[in-house]
């Protein structure tokens, strides 16, 4: 299966980065195909206007619905198709989680709608919901200037789960937040040299005793999780 990823944005250049690293390899291997689109290509005025003042007043500008609607018609089509998943990154979205990434990794087509300014006219989202499967997602409780960075983060979390993408799929199963895994933070990692600037790799990791190593790693994960993410231990 090839996953098709479309990105709608006034800064399509953000997505040039998808041509490099592992994601570039996934494109070369035909696992994913990436299409970035400039929303301004669906404007008709000299200034290629995509925003206007908010109805009801308030700070900043709101993205006009017209360019989005015409872009949807051109990129996705005018017939409803629930198999198309349209993602609106937004500060008011549902927190994006590993389980959401897992679900999205099985989808054949994802369209990211990257807003800017104060956001997108809500009718765009309402329209999309009549046509496709819509996800309003947030990366976390901090404020970005637009949806592009969130789209990139969601893309990486999803694509790495596509079967055949990662060299050793076993490593995926071990990761914290993976399905079936206890919700624990990962233990500290070490590699050679054994001694570095007066600091040594913990002896147990050099013992070759797999049972003790597993026990040490679990204990370290429990301590770290209790300290940094007590919410995961509920
Ligand atoms: N994913 C994700 C995000 C985003 C994100 C995603 C998409 C867009 C599109 C535009 N912006 C900028 C922006 C910033 C602040 C506000 C807040 N409101 C402003 C108006 C009055 C009420 C409050 C809105 C829009 C975006 C931010 N931020 N943080 C995440 N985890």
Cβ of 12 closer than 6 Å to ligand 1, yes or no, is no
* Pocket-testing residue among 100, 112, 118, 141, ligand 1, by greatest number of atoms within 8 A of Cβ: 118
pTM: 0.94
* 3-state class (DSSP) for residue 100: helix
Strands of the chain (E only): list them: 3-9, 32-38, 51-52, 62-63, 84-95, 109-113, 133-138, 195-196, 199-200
**What is the average pLDDT across 81-109?**
98
pLDDT tens, position by position, 40-70: 999 999 999 999 999 999 999 999 999 999 9
Would you list the domain boundaries of the chain?
3-160, 169-232
Q: Can you tell me the distance from the alpha carbon of 169 to that of 107, in angstroms, rounded to the nearest whole number?
A: 19
- C-alpha closest to that of 156 among 39, 9, 25, 10: 25
User: What was the ipTM of the complex prediction?
Assistant: 0.96
22 is in an annotated binding site: no
pLDDT tens, position by position, 160-177: 999 888 766 666 766 767
Residue 217 alpha carbon to ligand 1 centre in Å: 38
| 3-160: CATH class | alpha beta
169-232: which CATH architecture? Orthogonal Bundle (1.10)
Residue 115 alpha carbon, nearest atom of ligand 1: 9
């Amino acid at each position: 299966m090839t996953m098709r990823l479309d990105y709608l944005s006034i800064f399509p250049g953000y997505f040039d980065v998808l041509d490099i690293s592992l994601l570039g390899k996934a494109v070369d291997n035909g696992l994913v195909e990436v299409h970035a689109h400039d929303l301004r290509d669906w404007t008709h005025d000299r200034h290629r206007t995509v925003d206007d003042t908010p109805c009801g007043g308030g700070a900043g500008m709101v993205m006009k619905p017209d360019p989005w609607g015409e872009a949807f018609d051109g990129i996705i089509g005018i017939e409803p198709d629930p198999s198309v998943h349209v993602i609106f990154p937004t500060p008011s979205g549902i927190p994006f989680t590993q389980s959401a990434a897992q679900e999205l990794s099985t989808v054949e087509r994802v369209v990211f709608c990257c807003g800017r300014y104060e956001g997108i006219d809500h009718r765009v989202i309402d329209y999309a919901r009549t046509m496709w499967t819509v996800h309003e997602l947030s990366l976390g409780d901090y404020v970005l200037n637009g949806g592009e960075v969130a789209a990139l983060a969601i893309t990486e979390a999803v694509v790495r789960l596509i079967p055949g993408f990662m060299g050793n799929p076993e490593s995926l199963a071990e990761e914290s937040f993976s399905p079936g895994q206890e919700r624990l933070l990962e233990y500290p990692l070490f590699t050679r040299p054994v001694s570095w600037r007066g600091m040594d790799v913990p002896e147990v990791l050099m013992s070759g005793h797999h049972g003790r190593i597993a026990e040490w790693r679990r204990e370290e994960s429990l301590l770290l999780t209790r300290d940094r993410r007590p919410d995961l231990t509920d």
